[in-house]
Structure 1
Amino acid sequence: MVRARDDLCINVPTFFKCPISLDVMKSPVSLCTGVTYDRSSIQRWLDAGNNTCPATMQLLQTKDFVPNRTLQSLIQIWSDSLRHSTVPHPLLSPDQVLPTVAQLETHSLCSASLTKLLHFARDSHHNKLFLAKLEGFVNQLLRFLDNVDGGLVASANTQFLQQVVILLGLILDSVEDRDGLRNSLLKGNKQSLDSLLLVLQRGCCESRIASARVLQFIAADAESKILIAEKEGVVAELLKSAAPEKDPALVEAALASLVAISTPKRNKLKLVSLGAVKALSRLLAEAKLGAAAVEKVLKLVETASSTREGRKEICEDAACVAAVLSKVLKVSSVATEHAVTTLWSVCYLFRDRKAQEAVTQANGLTKILLLMQSNCAPQVRQMCTDLLKIFRVNSKSCLSCYDTKTTHIMPF
């Protein structure tokens, strides 16, 4: 992602960052799932009693991990090149943080102080926690967000606003009074959503990721979700951020935010009306997404399929049905369930002829049969059985397309 010399213009490769802490990894290690994390972050996850891979949520066959020497070398080379090509920023010590925060009240020193605090927060999880617990610091960031329409944070001054949003995004998970923070961001005549939208529209990649994460954080209950979706431009901008040509980390952050927002029915309808079905179909077909991102896309398609308008869009788009079918196998059990639920909804529950034809043309029956013979969840197996009942009349064509040397018992 691209950030400026003041820490908004350094190119940080996404795969250099730990999926848990989002910091550049100091000691990258790989789990048996193939996903790499910073050693301290994944150790905390495992020590907490978790037995899944945080990125894929796959059950770990072993909790052992191995050092990723290749990636560590690449990070070292990248870090060395930065030291030679950019002006170094001395890192604040904890006793320097308080006077630096105090300077936020002085407008002339505000941006420089934020830059120093950004470096401090990025350095470690401990530093993020330190800032989150610092009395008055989070409230000061919120005051900056609320001034988007005038004063210090004018609409034209998006660089300063980006720093505020990035810093808020970094300490978000360390804030103790999470409900209080959510209320402060949404309640009253505040302009926080204006600020977050402005960053989504004009910010750099990192600040847009941070904005999407803050929106996801806010969307904790039905009222909050509706308030966010009713803010003109927010949902549309998140959809734009999830386009195949965007940075993978931005795509995943935007998808996570959309999933969080989309629960209320009116929000589902808004998503559909803004062209979400075609956008998500294109994302499945064109983008090289990780398992976690695919799960989020399929969750959103499933969400659209729970509305009459969404089903209409899905059923009239054969490419969407084919894209969903392409992810039924070999992604994850979560992705499989979302994909099968969508197909079951449009083909079995609502018996749409176009969707049924699209499944047949995309060789969907073969995939459904293969899925039934795998170790899938009982509810997935039942939906597959229901789907196959629809095609009983065409069972001969189903058998002819099921190309295998192994004899199987047909489920009908």
Structure 2
Amino acid sequence: MDLCWGRRRKNKKSGKPNMEIVIPNQFRCPITLDLMKDPVTLSTGITYDRESVERWFNEGNYTCPVTNQVVRNFDMIPNHSLTRIIQDWCVENRKNGVERIPTPRTPISPIDVLELLFRVKDSSKNLDQYGCLELVKKIEKWGGESERNKRCIVENGATSALALAFDAFANDSIEKNVVVLEAILSALNWMFPLQVEAQKSLGSKASLHCMIWFLKHQDLKGKEKSIVALKELLSFGDVNHVEALLEIEGVNELLVEFINKRISPTITKASLRVIWYLVSSKSDSCNEKMKFLFVELGLVSSILNILIDSEKNIFEKGLVILDSLCNIEKGREKAYENDLTIPLLVKKILRVSPLTTEYSVSSIWKLCKFGEKDYEGKALIEALQVGAFQKLLLVLQVGCSDETKEKATELLKLMNPYTDYLECIDSDFKNLERSY
């Protein structure tokens, strides 16, 4: 029998409900029972909505959902007649709130993608920016039509071809080719993660210089595309990319500026992630150099300021960086000097997430155990006064990693001699002034 679609709708004039809208069974996909928007017929003779049956096969099924026959030919033939009938039915029921389904576009094929990417490579080789720009726009158009098209584009090597083109035009001239470079970067942003060949091209000196140029000179949208691409590139942990970035003047200053200004959530989050990749590089020389440079630029205070009122995601990223900076003496020194440090770290224990608890305890442990003796004693006393002793006892009770448990236990032992004559209060940094 026919099934009902939607709820009863009230007549605007009389206020009485109209009759329920009924979708004929032949218009419904046998898999989801929803109105078909792009009906296609399999070799078994059964018609399904394209998106539903593609998802069925992508999940590893090899049979027709209705007949249970093994499908040996996965061709999906568009059922144009049924599409037109469904559209006519939608128009007839428009007064009852039914929207007409758009005419389905024919999905692209791997051959379509490969042919277009060959032309992209050819135009970039010849530095034909206008020809390449048109091709990139066509890729964007295809990708905007359906998720299936996006998968087909990515699976057939688009990231490698576009990254190679980006490198070629960046090598030629950033200013002259800025329009096509921005278009390529925009397209790449929805194709992550990068393939290996794409990593090499996007990680070249010319490409890195171009992305940094975008961060300095482009509008907000251009900056966002660039910092997200940079974050994606560094996520693979290639030391060569970190070393190449070190050679570009002003990178560290730019990232700290983004943290301080917080011009958009996307840029703030991606900048924090980029900084983390830089300070946790596998290259020991780069690692220490990066930490020192960021500390000298005031990143410790910048992180503390941004942590006061940040959302969970940003707080976690910032705290991980702060803990990493506390590994070097200069980082701990800057943390000691900031009135926000201990109260904020203690306040957030068991407040935000298990991860923030872990890194808050770790940072407090480093500040109280290492460095100048005067600083260590002051840090212990301040931590006690803002409620660290009670918080650390709770950490041990609610459960934590073995490493965090060891640090919490050691902190409790270090604080214990002071507990008899120090008044412990709950941590609160609302009345503390920021460092700027």
Q: TM-score, normalised by structure 1?
A: 0.65
Give runs of aligned pairs for residues 27-66 of structure 1, distance below 5 A. none
Over residues 254-296 of structure 1, what are the superposed CA-to-partner deviations in whole Å (9 max), with x where a residue is unaligned? 211221121222222222222211111111014x32x332221
**What is residue 115 of structure 1 aligned with on the other side?**
137
* Alignment match, 1:94: 108
Q: Distance in 1 between matches of 2:349 and 2:182?
A: 39
Once the two structures are TM-superposed, the CA of residue 202 in structure 1 deviates from its matched residue by 2.8
Q: Provide, for residues 200-227 of structure 1, a one-character-per-residue CA deviation record: whole Å limited to 9, x for no partner.
A: 2233444433323332333313333232
Aligned AA (1:154):
E
Aligned pair in 2 of structure 1 residues 281, 234: CA closer, same or farther (>3 Å)?
Answer: same
- Please name the residue that 2:397 is paired with: 373
Q: Distance in 1 between matches of 2:349 and 2:247?
A: 33
Query: Paired residue for 1:258?
Result: 275
Q: Which is worse superposed, 102-111 or 304-313? A: 102-111
Aligned positions of 1:170-319 closer than 5 A? 170-173=190-193, 175=194, 177-178=195-196, 180-187=197-204, 190-219=205-234, 220-243=237-260, 245-263=262-280, 264-286=287-309, 288-289=310-311, 291-319=312-340
Cα deviation for residue 401 of structure 1 reads 3.3
Higher relative contact order, structure no. (Cα contacts within 8 Å, ≥ 6 residues apart)? 1
Tell me the alpha carbon deviations over residues 60-110 of structure 1, each in whole angstroms, 9 at most, x when there is no partner: xxxxxxxxxxxxxxxxxxxxxxxxxxxxxx989526656765378243344
Which moves more between the two structures, 236-245 or 128-137?
Answer: 128-137
Question: Per-residue displacement from partner, 1:122-155 (whole Å, max 9, x unpaired)?
Answer: 555543433334457633443334433644x426
Change (3 A) 1:402 1:184: closer
- Name which of 342, 367, 372 aligns with 1:346: 367
Moved more, 295-304 or 134-143: 134-143
CA distance in 2 between partners of 1:377 and 1:137 (Å): 39
Pairs within 5 Å for 1:68-83: none
Task: Return the alpha-carbon distance in structure 1 between the equivalents of residues 320 and 368 of structure 2.
Answer: 17
Closer, same or farther: CA 394–293 of 1 in aligned 2, 3 Å: same
**Secondary structure of the residue that 1:172 maps to in structure 2?**
coil
The count of residues paired between Structure 1 and Structure 2 equals 310
Aligned to 2:409: 385
Q: Find the aligned partners of 1:230 and 1:160 in 2 and give their Cα distance.
A: 25
Provide closer, same or farther for how the CA distance between residues 395 and 165 of structure 1 changes in structure 2, counting only shifts above 3 A: same
Aligned residue for 1:86? none
For 2:277, the aligned partner's letter is A
Distance 1:115 1:136, change over 3 A: closer
Alpha-carbon contact 2:166-2:202 (below 8 Å) kept: no
Within 2, Cα distance between the matches of 1:341 and 1:140? 42
1:402 and 1:311, CA in 2 relative to 1: closer, same or farther beyond 3 A?
closer
> How far off its partner does 1:382 sit?
2.0
Match of 1:138? 160
For the 8 Å contact 1:244–1:282, the answer to whether it is kept is: no
Cα pair distance change 1:222/1:245, threshold 3 Å:
closer
Change (3 A) 1:375 1:211: same
CA separation of 1:230 and 1:312: change in aligned 2, threshold 3 A:
farther
RMSD: 3.4
The one-letter amino acid paired with 1:138 is S
> 1: CA distance between counterparts of 2:144 and 2:279?
31
* Structure 1: runs of 5+ lacking an equivalent: 1-39, 49-89, 404-412
Cα distance change of structure 1 residues 359 and 399 upon mapping to structure 2, 3 Å threshold? closer
Amino acid aligned to 1:324: L
Name the TM-score, length of structure 2 as normaliser: 0.61
Is the Cα–Cα contact under 8 Å of residues 361 and 407 in structure 2 kept in the other structure?
Answer: yes
Code of the residue aligned with 2:183 in structure 1: it is: Q
Instruction: Report the Cα distance in structure 1 between the residues aligned to 2:385 and 2:148, rounded to whole angstroms.
Output: 54
In structure 2, stretches of 5+ residues that fail to align are: 1-51, 61-103, 281-286, 428-436
**Would you say the 8 A contact 1:277–1:310 is kept in 2?**
yes
Q: Is the 8 A contact 2:385 2:424 kept in 1?
A: no
Seen in structure 2, the aligned counterparts of structure 1 residues 267 and 171 have a Cα distance that, compared at 3 Å, is same
CA distance in 2, matches of 1:139, 1:308: 45
Structure ID, larger Rg:
2
Shift of 1:338: 1.3
* Cα separation, 2, equivalents of 1:402 and 1:154: 56
**Does residue 161 of structure 2 align to residue 162 of structure 1?**
no
